[in-house]
Amino acid sequence: MMSSRGMIKKVIEELIWILIVIVISIICLGLLIGLNNVVSNDAYDISIFDIYFVIKPFDLAIYLFILLGFATYFVKVVVKKFSHEPSNIILLLFTTSILFTIWSINN
């Protein structure tokens, strides 16, 4: 059994990791559309080959956060061999949000 101090330390460590993912997501969004346009309400056009997306900055930030969070926690969990319970739970939440996002886009 783990003491409450050990569990609090793990939770704080996971919060720090999530904050790092949030900061990286904001930096990536700033590089994509410019930092002064992050808080605007304008829609942005993203063209990938022959596919054309129109998306708001907030939605793009959420998608970047989910994608980067999933990638970060997937690598973290594989390195720790699925032995760190808070990381496993957060990876499950990111995976669920990816599935929900894909489902909501398709419907």
Residues 21-63: pLDDT tens digits?
999 998 888 888 777 766 677 777 777 788 887 888 788 888 8
2-6, 26-30, 69-73: which has the minimum mean pLDDT?
2-6
Distance CA 107, CA 104 (A): 5
Token pair 């739970």 is found at: 89
> What's the mean pLDDT when you consider all of the chain?
84
Sign of the CA dihedral with 4 first, then 10, 14, and 20 last? positive
Query: For the residues 88-104, what does the mean pLDDT come to?
Result: 89
pTM given for the model: 0.78
End-to-end CA distance of the chain: 44
Residue 91 in this model has a pLDDT that exceeds 80: yes
